[in-house]
A = this chain, B = another copy of it.
């Protein structure tokens, strides 16, 4: 294999992620990743600048090509997905006018950016497919369980093929392949209706007072530097402030609740979120012929949650593909997209 340098993107509504994958002869590829919080609805016109910044952080040499995946088109700053996909395509073109950019279609093809512009709906929310297609090249059978900041992907790979039933977000929700729950940004009223407190169950507030990031900070499952989204109250992501945010879930404050009471609430929410993910896994597995043969590949910032679901269900665990390195599992779509595009460019003799 000749030397090659490809950047994979996953441009979301709240985080932009990128991976640089460098191939040198037959060595294990070198992978570098960057995750940047960027809320596209706040200042969408700054996206090209952000993309340039991220690339500069990854490398000082332009890559040979870029692989693009996204979910940002769902942001309500766009009236339709059509508008959103085109905006992302435009932004990448503005940021990198000279670099060939290929976009992964929902049928698994790499399409040049200009061509994708003509049929934008084929590229909406395509990031999970990059992960699944790459996993299918490495593992014959796997259940991809990618627990992110906001959403969880549950995608079966069976006999070396992506066995997802859904392609669009809507169909994936219906099939249990997309679960709108994650370990950072999920509002707690979307996970629990009530929490145990002082011998009873207390119904919760539906205000945006606390998120799952606060739960996992308090429980020590993530570090402050993993809390890569704004906190609901704008205060820092520390255990102390996270407890203040969690107390508000039951319309209380830290003068009314003890740290132990707050932490017990957090532990209960963790339990319920595990159940949300487990339910989706059981739903997806229930349609497969011999689901016992399907080991779980835990990915994403919330991989710890995927691991626990697998443990409870007695499912074998797979390691993230070695080529992704230690950080790749957290930004799987980027690394997968870059890897897939490299293979495609090499195999088909496309000139990047």
Contact = CB atoms under 8 A, between A and B. Distances in A.
Interface of A: 41, 74, 76-77, 79-82, 121, 125, 150, 168-170, 173-174, 176, 178-181, 186-187, 189-190, 197-198, 200, 202-209, 232-233, 244-245, 248, 250-256
A170, A198, A232 pick with most chain B CB within 10 angstroms: A170
| Chain A interface, DSSP helix/strand/loop, else mixed | loop
Given A76-B232, A203-B179, A173 B81 contact: no
A239 B206 CA distance: 24
Closest 8 pairs between A and B when the two form their complex, measured CB to CB: A169-B251, A190-B206, A76-B233, A189-B190, A80-B253, A180-B205, A170-B252, A180-B206
B189 A255 contact: no
A202 B174 contact: yes
A251 B202 contact: no
A315 to B, nearest CB: 22
Contacts of A206: 150, 180-181, 186-187, 190
Contact of A255 (B80, B180, B233, B255): B80
20 contacts: A74-B207, A76-B233, A76-B248, A77-B233, A80-B253, A80-B254, A81-B255, A150-B207, A168-B252, A170-B250, A173-B251, A174-B198, A174-B202, A176-B203, A180-B203, A180-B205, A180-B207, A186-B206, A187-B187, A189-B189
A73 to B, nearest CB: 9
Contacts of A244: 76, 79
Nearest to A81: B253
Given A77-B233, A187-B189, A208 B208 contact: yes
A169 B209 contact: no
A173 B203 contact: yes
Contact of A190 (B81, B190, B202, B255): B190
Contacts of A254: 79-80
Contacts of A250: 169-170, 173
A74 B233 CA distance: 12
Contacts of A125: 251
Contact of A252 (B169, B176, B205, B208): B169
Given A180-B203, A189-B189, A204-B180, A255 B174 contact: no
A166 B251 CA distance: 13
Contacts of A79: 244, 253-254
B203 A170 contact: no
Contact of A170 (B170, B180, B233, B256): B256
A239 to B, nearest CB: 15
Nearest to A211: B206
Contact of A202 (B41, B77, B170): B170
